[in-house]
Structure formats: structure tokens, C-alpha cells
A = this chain, B = another copy of it.
Amino acid sequence: MTEKTITTLTEFKWPQGFASDGVHAGLRKERKDMGWLYSQVPAQAAGCYTTNQFQAAPTALTKKTINVKHELQAMVMNSANANSCTGEQGEKDAATMQALAAEKLGIAPELVGVASTGLIGANLPMDIVKAGIAQMELTQNTAVTEAILTTDLHPKTITVTCEVGGQTVTISGFCKGSGMIHPKMATMLGFVTSDANIAGTQLQALLSAEVDSTFNQITVDGDTSTNDMVVVMANGLAKNPELTPDQADYSTFATALHQVLAFLAQAIAADGEGATKLVEANVKGAANGADGQKVAKTIVGSNLLKAAIFGEDANWGRVMSAIGQTDAQVDIHHVFVWLNGLALVENSRSAAFDEAEMKKAMQAEKIVLDVDLNSGAATGQAWGCDLTYKYVQINASYRN
């Protein structure tokens, strides 16, 4: 078995058979606020959803729809309004949105998923939603990647290709997410399209395994949204032999999918509300994988450390305090920490770093904290961002 190349394209493009659109329906003042995604043939589908007990109506509907036979031919989505905590009316509105999109596309409603994001607790203005769907066409543009944004500063997209069973398979993903980011099973809205030939249940198994080390390892503010979902659609038009775990190229596809999910997850952390820096924690020497993941996520989740990183202050005691807050196995006298390659902590004490050199390292847009717990051979990784004045400003008046 030869190792196959996975190529990241410089520009986003849709896999074979996918079309989409994004429009300004009127839910927001000026920016695009509705979009859809369509495959010319029904696609195999998989999803992961928020674990928040108040799951929003569109999230619940999409989960129910996908779970029937892991098939989907379209997704319709809107920003500005989360259709969450909206009671029975909210459930009806999500179903109407599904039906309207299905009608315009000429497919069964059971093949349409629905996603909403934005303010919690307001009912969807259905006249605007209806007008928005009426406007939408089937195009090759990427307007849908803008239409799902809320406080995000820019769309987050990626396309990778790989060879599978002699065919070129394309995987394209996009997502939104900036605040209320602390996923437990999935995060905010993420959509991955592919022309790969793979069964829906197999796709679900792959996705469920991969979100744990990607979307579930990012945090912006420790709050888990009511609307989180990641959906993958694979329509088989690449005509590769069906992907199963015993196939030679299965691992190539799995790795390519992981790359897409990891890229999107990190892009959300980097575009966290008010963020000026992406923070990555790489933990090694953990007793087991769960410990490594837990320590990494606690580090990037510490408000105090996030504020210090914003201030470019090498306050390493806050890294130690975060590690010590977990119940992970830690050799408490032999922890090591490096910041962008410079030694910060040696044997649980301050390394003899040069303040000026460290300050300079902290001016980078990406801060990488490498941590050695000296307690085993497992690792863990997580991504977050700094805590800034802008985060407070954005969230002090989100409803206005």
C-alpha cells in the first residue's frame, strides 16, 4: 500500500454534483443571511449535534431527518436567528423552511436538512424566510459560506482532494462560529461536502470519531450553543469503489476528512469573538488520551491565561494553574512548558527565559504552548483564542 497524497487546493471549489447559493433575505440589515446547498443526486449523510439540553428546532429536525437513512440531498440555512427556545411555533417554522426548500428544489422534504444560527429566543419571520428561499438559485458560487456567518469576521472554507480507488475525491468544508464556542460532540454550524462513494453509516462512524479531536477540542468562551451541528454529505459522483474500513484507501479518505475538520475547527478558534490570536495547546507525556485532551482544552479555556496572551504577558503560572485544575495525572514536580518554542517552565518552575525575547515571541498571531506532563506517552491538542476588550464589547450588547 503506497501512501497517497492529500492536496489542499488554494481556492475553494465544490465537489462534483454540488451546487449552492447565498442571498440577502432581510433577516440581517445588509449582509447575506440565507443559503442552501444541493447535490444533484441524494447524498449519504452524517451529522453530529449539540449536547445542550435546549437543542434548537432546526438542529433537532436535521438530526431526525439524517437518522432515518443517513441520506440528504440539500441543506437550507439562515443566520441572524437561531430558532431556539421558540416552542412549538419554532418546530413548525423549521418544518416549513424544510418544506419550502424541498418544494423549490423538487425533492422530498425528508431529503432536506435545516440549520439556523443567531439570536436565541425569537421566532423566525417566515415571510422573510419564504422570500429568501424564492430568491435562491443553483450556482457554483460560495455565497452560502458567507450567508451563515454571525459575528464571524470572514468565511472559513477548505477544499482537499485525494486519490481513492483510482478516482479523485474532493472534500470541501465550510463553517461558522465565533462566540458561544465550547463544543461537546460538535460545534456551531459546519458543512462538509464530498463526491466520495461511502455509505452513510460508515460516514457517521468516521465523523463521530473525528469530531472528538477536532471540533470538540476548541473553545472560545466555555459556552455550548443550542444550535451546534456538523453535517457531512457524500454523493458518490467520484465513482470510487465504496469506501469501507478494509479498503486500502480508506485511511487516506479518513485522513483527508480529518484535515478538513481540523482546519475548520482551528479557523473557528482563530476567528473567535474579539480574538487577536489563535492559541494552540499541544500536550504530551499524558497518561492517556483523555487526560491529554482535557489538559489541552483547560489551558486554552482559561480566562486568565487568555487575557495574559492578549496582553502578551508570559504569565506561566496561569498555565500551571490551568493544568492543576484538572484531575489528569500530572508529575507535579516535572512539568515542562514551551511557548512558540521557547522554554517557559522547567520541572514545574520558571525556566530562565529572556523577558524581551519571550515578549517578542508573544507578539505572534499564533501562540503555541507545548506541554509535557511527564506521566505517560499519550498526547492531546486543543485550540482557543485570547480574551480581549472586543469580546466583552461584542457580547455586552449582542441583541442590539
- A residues with a Cβ closer than 8 A to B are 52-55, 82, 84-87, 119-122, 179-180, 184, 221-226, 301-304, 307-308, 310-311, 313-318, 320-326, 330, 332-333, 345, 347-350, 387-389, 391-400
Our pick among B84, B313, B388 for the contact of A317 (Cβ within 8 Å) is: B84
| Residues of chain B with a CB closer than 8 A to A391's CB | 303, 307, 392
| Residues of chain B with a CB closer than 8 A to A317's CB | 82, 84-85, 119-121, 226
State the majority secondary structure of interface residues on A.
loop
| Residues of chain B with a CB closer than 8 A to A326's CB | 53
User: Once the chains are docked, how many angstroms separate the CA of A55 from the CA of B332?
Assistant: 10
**Closest Cβ–Cβ distance, residue A120 to chain B (whole Å):** 3
Given the contacts A320-B54, A348-B85, A392 and B310 also touching, CB distance less than 8 Å: yes
| Residues of chain B with a CB closer than 8 A to A121's CB | 316-317, 320, 349-350
| Residues of chain B with a CB closer than 8 A to A86's CB | 349
Other 11 A-B pairs with CB < 8 A, given A54-B321, A180-B321, A222-B301: A54-B324, A55-B324, A120-B315, A121-B350, A179-B304, A180-B304, A226-B324, A303-B303, A304-B395, A308-B398, A313-B399
**Closest Cβ–Cβ distance, residue A60 to chain B (whole Å):** 11
Q: Report, nearest first, the 6 A-B pairs whose CB atoms are least far apart.
A: A120-B317, A311-B396, A307-B395, A54-B324, A53-B324, A52-B324
| Residues of chain B with a CB closer than 8 A to A348's CB | 54, 85, 87
User: Once the chains are docked, how many angstroms separate the CA of A315 from the CA of B122?
Assistant: 11
**Closest Cβ–Cβ distance, residue A322 to chain B (whole Å):** 7
Are A397's CB and B54's CB within 8 A? Answer: no
User: Once the chains are docked, how many angstroms separate the CA of A84 from the CA of B324?
Assistant: 12
Shortest Cβ distance from A325 into B: residue: B224
**Closest Cβ–Cβ distance, residue A356 to chain B (whole Å):** 14
Are A303's CB and B395's CB within 8 A? Answer: yes
Are A87's CB and B223's CB within 8 A? Answer: no
Please state the number of chain copies in the assembly.
2
Our pick among B119, B225, B333, B399 for the contact of A87 (Cβ within 8 Å) is: B333
Shortest Cβ distance from A307 into B: residue: B395
User: Once the chains are docked, how many angstroms separate the CA of A65 from the CA of B389?
Assistant: 43
Are B54's CB and A311's CB within 8 A? Answer: no
Are B392's CB and A387's CB within 8 A? Answer: yes
User: Once the chains are docked, how many angstroms separate the CA of A316 from the CA of B325?
Assistant: 30
Are B396's CB and A308's CB within 8 A? Answer: yes
User: Once the chains are docked, how many angstroms separate the CA of A332 from the CA of B60?
Assistant: 14
**Residue among A223, A311, A333, A392 facing the most chain B CB atoms (10 A cut-off):** A392
Are B321's CB and A221's CB within 8 A? Answer: no
Are B225's CB and A321's CB within 8 A? Answer: yes
User: Once the chains are docked, how many angstroms separate the CA of A395 from the CA of B387?
Assistant: 10
Are B87's CB and A349's CB within 8 A? Answer: yes
Are A223's CB and B325's CB within 8 A? Answer: yes
User: Once the chains are docked, how many angstroms separate the CA of A122 from the CA of B121?
Assistant: 48
Are B120's CB and A321's CB within 8 A? Answer: yes
**Closest Cβ–Cβ distance, residue A319 to chain B (whole Å):** 10
Our pick among B310, B322, B396 for the contact of A310 (Cβ within 8 Å) is: B396
Shortest Cβ distance from A398 into B: residue: B315
| Residues of chain B with a CB closer than 8 A to A223's CB | 302-304, 318, 321-322, 325
| Residues of chain B with a CB closer than 8 A to A224's CB | 321, 324-325
User: Once the chains are docked, how many angstroms separate the CA of A304 from the CA of B224?
Assistant: 10
**Residue among A54, A323, A391, A400 facing the most chain B CB atoms (10 A cut-off):** A54
**Closest Cβ–Cβ distance, residue A226 to chain B (whole Å):** 6
22 A-B pairs with CB atoms under 8 Å apart are: A52-B321, A53-B330, A85-B348, A87-B348, A119-B317, A120-B315, A120-B320, A121-B350, A180-B304, A184-B325, A222-B301, A223-B321, A225-B321, A303-B391, A307-B396, A308-B396, A308-B399, A310-B396, A311-B397, A313-B400, A387-B392, A391-B392
